């Protein structure tokens, strides 16, 4: 029964992607007649040709990939630098710091105060507005801190006896032992940044800094205003539908390719602590 349920869930998750792929590779007449479901009809790659030749999509894709890499690296760095000191009992004010950090998970100023804050910090229409505000997730930091708590104190004490500094202990003891949780958090941060568009929607007006998801959002929101002109000089609704599907596939497949490389770390992190000896 468990296998059957898992297979059904897998099929339910894959069907939309299969349908999307079929629509992106189908010809216009079949799309107009709504005859495309799970298999392409009238195989046609003109939608992907249009996407790859349009500098708007390629620029947005490159910018989003750069954002994802930078934000993931900075988020892991900030999470580590925040979580590591909080595991030391001799840290003065540790309880106060924990309370202050935790409060931010439950209370938020709201959209308008955040907008005014970005305005006062001169971050509106600045690429840094897509990096700085989201470079630390308190929830992910707490996960990392909890993992650090699980590392035996004897390892740290042995390093201290050998004369290792706090930075040396972090780099040579905690970081190597935390690869599973760091890989898992990297996946969370990368997927969150790749799929993020609300911050750019609120704080960014320069189209050259639009992430890929915001570009797709604008396309889907203004679907009636999009006109795709063929070589004959007229627009075709079917080609519009095909291009929308191709753009969604273009933005989804790259982030899916990351999962196989981090899957073993993700599973290892999930199963840590499941068995006690």
What would the pLDDT profile of 234-258 be if each residue is shown by its tens digit? Answer: 444 555 777 778 878 878 888 777 7
Residues 137 and 236 both lie in one domain: no
Residues 188 and 68 both lie in one domain: yes
Q: Indicate whether 137 belongs to any domain.
A: yes
Question: If we measure between CA atoms, which residue out of 273, 245, 253 comes closest to residue 46?
Answer: 245
What mean pLDDT is reported for the chain? 82
Phi-psi region for residue 110, left (φ > 0), alpha (ψ -120 to 50) or beta?
Answer: left
Residues 216 and 180 both lie in one domain: yes
62: domain CATH number is 1.10.3720.10
Residues 94 and 23 both lie in one domain: no
Q: Is the predicted pLDDT of residue 272 greater than 80, yes or no?
A: no
Indicate the number of domains in the chain. Answer: 2
- Condensed to tens digits (0 to 9), the pLDDT of residues 150-171 reads 888 888 888 888 888 889 999 9
- Condensed to tens digits (0 to 9), the pLDDT of residues 1-40 reads 999 999 999 999 888 888 888 888 887 777 777 777 888 8
Distance CA 221, CA 207 (A): 16
Residues 128 and 24 both lie in one domain: no
Q: How confident is residue 80, by pLDDT bands cut at 50, 70 and 90?
A: very high
Residues 241 and 117 both lie in one domain: no
Residues 239 and 111 both lie in one domain: no
Q: Indicate whether 108 belongs to any domain.
A: yes
Residues 79 and 216 both lie in one domain: yes
| Residue 18: half-sphere exposure toward Cβ, Cα within 13 Å | 9
Task: Look up tokens 């981090």; give the residue.
Answer: 262
Residues 233 and 183 both lie in one domain: no
Q: Indicate whether 9 belongs to any domain.
A: no
State which residues form the domain around 79: 58-221
For residue 191, the tally of other CB atoms under 10 A from its CB is: 16
Residues 125 and 181 both lie in one domain: yes
Q: Indicate whether 272 belongs to any domain.
A: no
Task: Look up tokens 């000089």; give the residue.
Answer: 233
Residues 95 and 129 both lie in one domain: yes
Chain-centre distance of CA 51, in angstroms?
22
Model pTM? 0.79
Q: Indicate whether 274 belongs to any domain.
A: no
**Any idea how long the chain is?**
277
- Condensed to tens digits (0 to 9), the pLDDT of residues 104-130 reads 888 888 888 888 989 998 888 889 999
The confidence score (pLDDT) of residue 195 equals 86
Count H helices and E strands in the chain, helices first: 15, 0
Looking at 204, 221, 238, the residue that finishes a domain is: 221
- Condensed to tens digits (0 to 9), the pLDDT of residues 256-266 reads 777 777 766 66
Residues 33 and 145 both lie in one domain: no
Q: Indicate whether 51 belongs to any domain.
A: no
Q: Indicate whether 277 belongs to any domain.
A: no
The confidence score (pLDDT) of residue 215 equals 82
């Amino acid at each position: 029964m468990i296998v059957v349920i898992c297979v059904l869930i897998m099929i339910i998750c894959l069907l939309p992607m299969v349908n999307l792929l079929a629509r992106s590779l189908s010809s216009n007449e079949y799309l107009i007649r709504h005859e495309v479901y799970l298999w392409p009809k009238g195989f046609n790659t003109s939608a992907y040709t249009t996407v790859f030749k349009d500098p708007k999509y390629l620029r947005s894709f490159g910018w989003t990939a750069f954002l994802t890499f930078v934000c993931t690296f900075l988020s892991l760095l900030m999470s580590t630098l925040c979580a590591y000191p909080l595991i030391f009992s001799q840290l003065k004010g540790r309880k106060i710091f924990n309370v202050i950090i935790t409060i931010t998970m439950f209370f938020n100023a709201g959209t308008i105060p955040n907008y005014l804050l970005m305005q006062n910090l001169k971050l509106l229409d600045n690429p840094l507005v897509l990096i700085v505000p989201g470079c630390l997730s308190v929830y992910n930091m707490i996960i990392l801190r909890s993992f650090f708590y699980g590392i035996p104190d004897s390892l740290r004490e042995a390093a201290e006896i050998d004369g290792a500094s706090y930075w040396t202990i972090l780099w040579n003891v905690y970081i190597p032992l935390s690869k599973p949780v760091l890989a898992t958090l990297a996946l969370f941060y990368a997927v969150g940044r790749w799929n993020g568009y609300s911050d750019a929607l609120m704080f960014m007006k320069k189209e050259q800094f639009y992430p890929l998801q915001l570009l797709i959002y604008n396309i889907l929101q203004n679907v009636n205003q999009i006109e795709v002109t063929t070589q004959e000089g007229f627009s075709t609704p079917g080609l519009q539908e095909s291009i929308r599907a191709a753009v969604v596939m273009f933005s989804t497949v790259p982030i899916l390719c990351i999962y196989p490389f981090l899957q073993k770390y993700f599973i290892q992190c999930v199963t840590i602590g499941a068995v006690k000896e």
